[in-house]
Chains A and B, each alone.
Chain A
Amino acid sequence: MSAVFEQIFQVGFLAAIIRIATPLAFATLGEMFSERAGVLNLGIEGIMLLSAMTGFTATSLSGSLWLGVLVAVLTGMLMGALHALFTVALGLSQHVCGIGVTLFSSGLAYFLYRLIFGQQSVPPSIKGFETLPVPVLSSLPVLGPAVFNQFALVYMAILAIPLAAFVLYRTPWGLSVRMVGENPRAADSAGVSVIATRFQAVILGGALMGLAGAFLSMAQFNAFTFGVVSGRGWVAIALVVFGRWDPWRSAGAALLFAFVDALQLRMQASGLGHIPYEAFLMLPFIFTIVAMAVMSRNAVAPSALLKPFRREER
């Protein structure tokens, strides 16, 4: 038991949790914005993959990491706009469109990657982000090296959480987002454009999903592989539900999942575990499904989620 304990309180372990949590935090916040406005975005898995690919490619061709991040974010926004076009402007069913966006974006990512880089025996890689220690704070014991000696994108994720909460709960735009997600009819009467607000929220969500993809291919793996996202988008869908559509809780859920994932990796590496690692990977999905069953009585999901809005229909 003490061996396990020592493992947990290693600095490297804490740093690993933060690193695993980062793309999940971006993706979860992105999905949360979309869903708070009433739009489920199942395109997330494909959007993350395509952004990871375009970001990696831009960096690989230009040598600039931040240009890559920008391209990944723009890719996410573009795909978000596409999903919004189908689900918000045309009012098509959100879940089927989302699957369509995921199939389309993943296919496009594979296609373009193969077209640009061909089939190489050693997949091309880039010199990804390097850790950027924060002055003073990085010399704190334990927390310093674990939290304040990370990639710039990690700090952005940490800052994105309070920022998302502020935007959602303390700005007029955030109020509009919540209104169009809860009661679009009332929002419309109050002069809020349901269509425009939903578009904006889904596109903002896409930008965050793009950052998640960028982190995977440009900071975590420094390469694009076909399994670079491997279900993290679906994890984010689960974490939003588990985090009750709240930025703080969703980020907390991402951290909790990252802890379980990091623990699983450690146990696999040290040969400590007798439990198959897949059991840990299953946990967030099982927890979420159970949580949905328990929570459903006090309905916390945005009321207008999955419901298209058409002004003329009453």
Chain B
Amino acid sequence: MFRLEVRVSTPAWFNLALPLLAIAATLVLCSGLIALAGAGVIEAYGVMFTASLGDSYAITETMVRAAPMIFTGLAVAVAFRAKFWNIGAEGQLLAGAVASCFVGAIPMSGPLAMLLMAVAGAAAGAAVALAPATLRVKFKVDDVVSSLLLNSVIYYALMALIEGPWKDSFSGYPISPPIEDSANFPVLLEGTRLHLGVVVALLAAPLIWFLIVRTTLGFRIRVTGENPEAARYGGIHVERVLISTALLSGALAGLAGVGEVGGVHFQVMSDISPGYGYSGIVVAMLARLNPLGVVPAAIFLAAVMTGAEAMSRATGVPAFLSDVIQGTALLAMLVALLFTAYRIRRVGVAR
């Protein structure tokens, strides 16, 4: 006889094993689609791997794509730790992009411009995230729905800007005017797109890990998420913690937008984010909400996205496979997480 038992604690190796299990399951499930498209599964995944991680240039391209997802992944991980259900990283990213582009277009010395772009972008993202947090704290409004709906509000606001007063008068396209050349983030490796923002993203992860694991605020965030009643009993001002978490989460998502403007696009357009905010949820879940885990999780998704285009050219399998992989990975990870809540135990048969 087997039976399900509630687990009290999970061994540490689960943190690595579960995401790997979820990713393996995802690749197996999605191989059916590759076969359906009439291509060799090994070949398709092989091309995907080579084109995203096979040589140093490919790795830089993957890292450029991973950077925004590291930031949105961190944003979601921090928020979910406090059980502040921030589904709004997409909108916060867009707000960060708009604010930083606005600042970057003002002529000033390069380093100052980059610093102010980051500050403005983080502030804009934080401001957007503040809305659902305030509504939850003051009016008990469900943060899932309000943060999700704000994405659409921000998106239309961005569209109104770039199709209206902000429209690039030079090209006539619905894109914002570019930022100053001096504000473009420096490229770190000649001949690649690897920009300063990627390094900042990689540094942000251990910083946020330290904040969550080793500081008072981090402790408050964790306790508020795990047991708000106990937190309150222990003298933690839960509402204030939720607001701080939202500000931090929104600022991180805003920085994702800053990197895209300063390091990749140098202006704002309607499709500046191919859903990086939603990908952040996938990244955070794969990372089990651990800020250090966010980096490999984001690199995995970025590699899939980068590799999918080359795979499509080589094998004819539609590049949209990467979108399916993303969705499947999230669902597979959620199922894998059941192993943290339950264990299968063999029960001896009574004689």
Chain A: residues with CB nearer than 8 A to chain B? 40, 42, 46, 86, 90, 92-93, 95-97, 99-108, 110-111, 114-115, 231, 234-235, 237-238, 241, 276, 278-279, 281-282, 285-286, 288-289, 292-293, 296-297, 301, 306
Additional A-B contact list (12), CB under 8 Å, known A92-B338, A279-B160, A289-B153: A40-B144, A46-B327, A96-B334, A103-B327, A110-B323, A114-B318, A114-B320, A237-B148, A278-B157, A281-B152, A296-B141, A306-B144
Q: Is B141 a contact partner of A86 (Cβ separation < 8 A)? A: no
Q: Is B149 a contact partner of A96 (Cβ separation < 8 A)? A: no
A286 closest partner in B (C-beta): B153
Question: Any chain A CB within 8 A of the CB of B344?
Answer: no
Number of B residues near A (Cβ < 8 Å) is 49
Chain B: residues with CB nearer than 8 A to chain A? 33, 36-37, 85, 87, 131, 135, 138-142, 144-146, 148-153, 155-157, 159-160, 163-164, 275, 278, 281-282, 285, 318, 320-328, 330-331, 334-335, 337-338
Contacts of B282 in A (CB 8 A): 100, 103
B196 to chain A, nearest CB (A): 30
Q: Is B324 a contact partner of A108 (Cβ separation < 8 A)? A: yes
Q: Is B152 a contact partner of A96 (Cβ separation < 8 A)? A: no
Q: Is A282 a contact partner of B153 (Cβ separation < 8 A)? A: yes
B135 closest partner in A (C-beta): A293
Alpha-carbon distance A66/B2, docked complex (angstroms): 48
Q: Is B331 a contact partner of A97 (Cβ separation < 8 A)? A: yes
Alpha-carbon distance A105/B326, docked complex (angstroms): 11
Q: Quick one: which of A99, A107, A276 contacts B323, CB cutoff 8 A?
A: A107
Chain B interface helix/strand/loop/mixed: helix
Contacts of B144 in A (CB 8 A): 40, 42, 95, 306
Alpha-carbon distance A104/B26, docked complex (angstroms): 11
Q: Quick one: which of A104, A114, A292 contacts B328, CB cutoff 8 A?
A: A104
Q: Is A282 a contact partner of B163 (Cβ separation < 8 A)? A: no
Contacts of A296 in B (CB 8 A): 139-141
Alpha-carbon distance A305/B148, docked complex (angstroms): 16
Alpha-carbon distance A281/B151, docked complex (angstroms): 12
Q: A99-B278, A276-B164 are in contact. Are A86 and B139 (CB under 8 A)?
A: no
Q: Is B156 a contact partner of A111 (Cβ separation < 8 A)? A: no
Contacts of B157 in A (CB 8 A): 278, 282
Q: Quick one: which of B138, B160, B281, B324 contacts A107, CB cutoff 8 A?
A: B324
B146 closest partner in A (C-beta): A289
23 contacts between A and B (CB under 8 A): A86-B335, A92-B335, A96-B285, A100-B282, A102-B327, A103-B326, A103-B327, A104-B327, A104-B331, A106-B327, A107-B321, A108-B327, A110-B318, A111-B321, A111-B324, A114-B318, A115-B37, A282-B153, A286-B153, A292-B139, A293-B138, A297-B139, A301-B142
Alpha-carbon distance A213/B323, docked complex (angstroms): 20
Alpha-carbon distance A104/B324, docked complex (angstroms): 5
Contacts of B150 in A (CB 8 A): 285, 289
Contacts of A110 in B (CB 8 A): 318, 320, 323
Which 7 residue pairs spanning A and B have beta carbons closest together? A104-B327, A107-B323, A103-B327, A107-B324, A114-B318, A110-B320, A278-B160
